[in-house]
Structure 1
């Protein structure tokens, strides 16, 4: 059996593409590398290339988003975590979130690592995570 491959990309559905694009542009510190209508799939997507090699997409669908907002208790995505190399990098990112005015829960330590939880404009749960020292 081959080794399981790494994640290549993640995409989240957003209610306001312009607002979310601006928010993620500030968070990532870079502009999207792609912005187009996907005619065969029936959605619009904006894609960011992350320095680690993965892609991160924002999607909107014809007719708009289904109401109800993000809820980690609903079957599907619980949260999406971005990996930091160590606690020092995690602390730098917590400070960056503060600079951007992004509310977060501070660094929470556990035996399996440390994380900072926050949400995007649609309430999608995001995390910055570092392995234990």
Structure 2
């Protein structure tokens, strides 16, 4: 039996409106879902990305930790978005510049190349290509 691929990623944000506006600009689309979870535990705003992947923003009705994001803490380190080739990586670097989103430029390593950046809560994000692409 093969292990399945990721279907969705959900992150907790401190300000849903601010994050929804930011991610809508980044993704170039509006959410497909924006509702309270039926049990009342959290509210989620969800984007449908290419390839069938869903990306969700969650708030927990004021019960979120007030701690700042830190990739060194146990839990999420970063979210990487797959790109097909180096031309796409360069295009996304330019797009981040257009959006006024600071980033570290293209970094190359033996395991691939990427551009790292952060969302309004400081959550680490990356556009990434596999080696040789």
Q: TM-score range by the shorter chain?
A: over 0.9
C-alpha distance in 2, partners of 1:4/1:90? 28
Q: Number of residue pairs matched?
A: 132
Alignment of 1:1-133 (within 5 A): 2-40=1-39, 42-133=41-132
Work out whether residues 15 and 64 of structure 1, in 8 Å CA contact, stay in contact via their aligned partners in 2.
Answer: no
Q: Which runs of 5+ in 1 are unaligned?
A: none
Cα RMSD (Å): 0.9
The Cα offsets for residues 14-62 of structure 1, whole Å up to 9 and x where unpaired, read as: 0100000000000000000000001315100000000121000000002
C-alpha distance in 2, partners of 1:75/1:83? 23
C-alpha distance in 2, partners of 1:127/1:106? 11
Q: Which runs of 5+ in 2 are unaligned?
A: none
C-alpha distance in 1, partners of 2:84/2:70? 28
Q: How many Å apart are 1:132 and its aligned residue?
A: 1.6
C-alpha distance in 1, partners of 2:110/2:41? 44
C-alpha distance in 1, partners of 2:121/2:63? 13
Give 3-state SS (helix, strand or coil) of 1:70's partner.
coil
Runs of 4+ aligned residues of structure 1 deviating over 4 Å after TM superposition are none
Q: How many Å apart are 1:10 and its aligned residue?
A: 0.1
